[in-house]
C-alpha cells in the first residue's frame, strides 16, 4: 500500500472540541483564541484512536495534563510515514508536546 505523504503533511486538526480547528499548516483564528486544551491525533486516519483519546483525555473532568498534545499513532500500519525524516519537524511546528502511542 502506497502512502500519500502530501496528504499526511497537509494538515493537523484539534480534536478537543466539535469545531476541529486546524493547527497546521495554517492555524485558524478560532484556534488562536481557543480556551480549551488542544489535543491532536496524527496521522488522522485512526478513527478509533481519536475517539478514545477524546473520551479519555479531552472530556475528562479530572484532566491535569496542562497544555496541548499531539498523540502520534506510532503503529506498524504507519511505519512508512516514519521513514520520512520530515514528520518530526512537521509536528514540532505545532508547538504542542508529542506523545508516541504504539500498538504493542
Alpha carbon dihedral 31, 6, 8, 34, in 10-degree steps, equals: 0
Q: How many CA atoms lie within 13 A of 6 on its CB side?
A: 0
Helix, strand or coil for residue 25? coil
Is 51 or 17 the better-scoring residue by pLDDT?
A: 51
Cell output for 17: 472540541
What pLDDT, in 10s, does the model give residues 67-90? Answer: 788 899 988 888 888 888 888 888
- Integer Cα distance of 63 and 91 in angstroms: 23
Reply yes or no on whether the pLDDT at 97 is more than 60: yes
Percent of the chain with pLDDT over 90: 2
Is 30 or 75 the better-scoring residue by pLDDT?
A: 75
Amino acid at each position: 500500500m502506497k502512502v500519500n505523504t502530501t496528504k499526511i503533511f497537509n494538515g493537523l486538526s484539534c480534536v478537543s472540541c466539535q469545531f476541529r480547528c486546524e493547527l497546521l499548516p495554517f492555524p485558524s483564528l478560532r484556534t488562536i483564541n481557543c480556551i480549551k486544551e488542544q489535543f491532536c491525533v496524527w496521522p488522522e486516519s485512526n478513527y478509533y484512536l481519536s475517539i478514545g483519546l477524546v473520551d479519555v483525555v479531552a472530556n475528562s473532568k479530572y484532566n491535569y495534563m496542562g497544555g496541548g498534545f499531539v498523540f502520534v499513532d506510532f503503529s506498524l500500519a504507519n511505519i512508512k510515514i516514519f521513514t520520512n525524516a520530515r514528520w518530526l519537524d512537521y509536528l514540532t511546528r505545532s508547538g504542542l508536546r508529542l506523545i508516541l502511542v504504539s500498538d504493542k
